[in-house]
């Protein structure tokens, strides 16, 4: 695969106003994408966004570029990323575009594409779009220009889709839930889904201003949700990130339930219902406690590289359906095509209702092992992980753990950091081990 200039693992992302997230670049991107996608047949593109203030500017620029290439844009307004994937499928659109930087602060934004199947665009299509970016913009004949319209009932359609993933014979009557929408794209969707299924819903993070998305709330910061669950005496708390593709939960005791625990609950429930096909996919960061708990149930488990696209690739390769990152991306391929926080949350609530168990008790079959992460900055062009000194210390630590823990050393993809992760049964011991390896990295770095 050739090296791409603009597309990263999750579309194009950056600070608004800095290249490439500028109006002129996005206009050109819209045109280039339009030129490539127009070759494929349908001339309709769905455009959704989260609640960032920059979304208005970027959707206008995209629409102008697409129109110049002869493609029409259908706007959904603020809509979770998985909703755009779903609407792209149901409208048989040529592609869907989401304007979002997910869990990042408001001053960042990004653009990602979905294919007609509601999955990420194939590499060759992304490469063709990049090739068009090098050419000067042209404009189709006036009669051929694209139009723009709004999908009036986008939210209602997606709410019905989410509810359709919850078992018909069950409801959420009598459950008190706190829903934190991170002032993001789920603010007008998630509370309605849970309410319409019968839950008593208390909302936080549902007043987007355009600049408060993900700010001390949502899946990346559950402290406010934990506090509110305890104050309200709620049964459960659900926190989404800015674009709704991640979920972190909180039990009635105010304890955080992460992506690993959510995957465990959903996998065990699928096994109980006789609906589990194959096993589950985690990542290199998934807690060893998940691996041990699934093994006890006889559920196969494999690890992919960190990143939801790698989890998805591994699921497709194995023909399995369940995958997750501990950060809360949960992929349920029997329900939808991409990580979906609301759909994942509904499956956990369904397990609570069906088994008459609290979220706390559903988690009890899995013990999270202490996992210590130390970030070490390094300078220079060499890779500290390749040095004999670091490898020797890491090997010694692995031998001491004797199969009852793990060592993971990896370079950050975005900054000059080495991430040192040690996991084991004893927190003091693994902290000391992580620091020992970190010191070795500092010494050579």
Give pLDDT tens digits for 85-97: 999 999 999 999 9
Confidence (pLDDT) at 206? 98
Q: 283 - beta bridge partners?
A: 304
pLDDT reading at 390 higher than 90: yes
Residue 245 in marked binding region: yes
Q: Which two tokens stand for residue 373?
A: 């992460």
Confidence (pLDDT) at 431? 96
Alpha helices in 301-414 (DSSP H): 308-318, 341-355, 359-363, 388-401
Confidence (pLDDT) at 88? 94
Q: Is the four-CA dihedral 76, 78, 81, 82 of positive or negative sign? A: negative
pLDDT reading at 2 higher than 60: no
pLDDT reading at 414 higher than 50: yes
Report, as residue numbers or ranges, the catalytic residues: 102
Residue 351 CA neighbour count, 13 Å, CB half? 25
Residue 44 CA, distance from chain mean position: 26
> Domains, the chain, ranges and CATH?
12-152 (3.40.120.10), 159-166+173-363 (3.40.120.10), 371-444 (3.30.310.50)
Average pLDDT over residues 208-225: 97
Residue 258 in marked binding region: no
Q: 329 - beta bridge partners?
A: 246
Phi, psi of 46 (to 5 degrees): -95, 130
Q: Given the DSSP bridges, would you call strands 247-251 and 12-15 parallel, antiparallel or unpaired?
A: unpaired
How many other CB atoms are there within 10 angstroms of residue 332's CB atom? 23
Residue 102 in marked binding region: yes
- Provide CB contacts within 8 A for 93, sequence distance 6+: 42, 44, 45, 46, 74, 87, 116
Average pLDDT over residues 133-160: 96
- Asked if 45 and 69 touch (Cβ cutoff 8 Å), the reply is no
Give pLDDT tens digits for 81-132: 999 999 999 999 999 999 999 999 999 999 999 988 888 888 899 999 999 9
- Lateral strand order in the sheet of 72-78: 12-15, 108-115, 95-99, 44-49, 72-78, 148-150
How many other CB atoms are there within 10 angstroms of residue 150's CB atom? 11
Q: Does the predicted TM-score (pTM) go above 0.75?
A: yes
- Provide CB contacts within 8 A for 32, sequence distance 6+: 65, 69, 129, 130, 132, 133, 135
Residue 123 in marked binding region: no
Say how far apart CA 369 and CA 37 lie, in whole Å.
47
Say how far apart CA 236 and CA 165 lie, in whole Å.
19
Give pLDDT tens digits for 25-39: 999 999 999 999 987
Confidence (pLDDT) at 1? 45
Tokens 């630590």 correspond to what residue? 397
Phi, psi of 192 (to 5 degrees): -65, -40
């Amino acid at each position: 695969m050739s090296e791409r200039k603009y597309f990263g693992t999750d579309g194009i992302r950056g600070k608004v106003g800095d290249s490439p997230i500028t109006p002129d670049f996005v206009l050109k991107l819209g045109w280039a994408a339009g030129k490539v996608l127009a070759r494929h047949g349908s001339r309709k593109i769905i455009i959704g966004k989260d609640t960032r203030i920059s979304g208005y500017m970027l959707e206008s620029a995209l629409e102008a570029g697409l129109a110049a290439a002869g493609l029409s844009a259908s706007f959904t307004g603020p809509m979770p990323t998985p909703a755009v994937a779903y609407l792209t499928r149901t409208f048989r659109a040529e592609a869907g575009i989401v304007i979002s930087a997910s869990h990042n602060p408001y001053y960042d934004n990004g653009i990602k594409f979905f294919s007609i199947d509601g999955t990420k665009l194939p590499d060759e299509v992304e490469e063709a779009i990049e090739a068009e970016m090098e050419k000067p913009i042209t404009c189709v004949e006036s009669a051929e220009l694209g139009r723009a319209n709004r999908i009036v009932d986008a939210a209602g359609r997606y709410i019905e889709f989410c509810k359709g993933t919850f078992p018909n014979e069950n409801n959420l009557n009598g459950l008190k839930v706190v829903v934190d929408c991170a002032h993001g794209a789920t603010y007008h969707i998630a509370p309605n889904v849970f309410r319409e299924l019968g839950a008593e819903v208390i909302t936080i993070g549902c007043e987007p201003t355009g600049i408060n998305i993900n700010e001390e709330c949502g899946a990346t910061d559950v402290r406010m949700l934990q506090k509110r669950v305890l104050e309200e005496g709620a049964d459960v708390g659900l926190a989404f990130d800015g674009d709704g593709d991640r979920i972190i939960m909180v039990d009635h005791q105010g304890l955080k339930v992460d992506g690993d625990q959510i995957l465990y609950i959903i996998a065990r429930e699928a096994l109980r219902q006789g609906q589990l096909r194959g096993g589950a996919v985690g990542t290199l960061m998934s807690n060893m406690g998940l691996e041990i708990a699934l093994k006890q149930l006889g559920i196969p488990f494999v690890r992919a590289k960190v990143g939801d696209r790698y989890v998805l690739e591994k699921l497709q390769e194995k023909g399995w359906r369940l995958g997750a990152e501990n950060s809360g991306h949960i992929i349920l391929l029997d329900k939808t095509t991409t990580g979906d926080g609301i759909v994942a949350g509904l499956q956990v609530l369904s397990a609570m209702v069906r088994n008459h168990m609290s979220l706390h008790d559903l988690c009890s079959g899995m013990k999270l092992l202490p996992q210590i992460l130390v970030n070490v900055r390094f300078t220079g062009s060499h890779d500290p992980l390749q040095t004999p000194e670091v490898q020797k210390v890491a090997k010694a630590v692995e031998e001491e753990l004797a199969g009852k823990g793990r060592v993971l050393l990896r370079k950050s993809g975005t900054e000059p950091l080495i991430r040192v992760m040690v996991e084991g049964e004893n927190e003091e011991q693994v902290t000391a081990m992580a620091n020992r390896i970190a010191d070795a990295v500092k010494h050579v770095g």
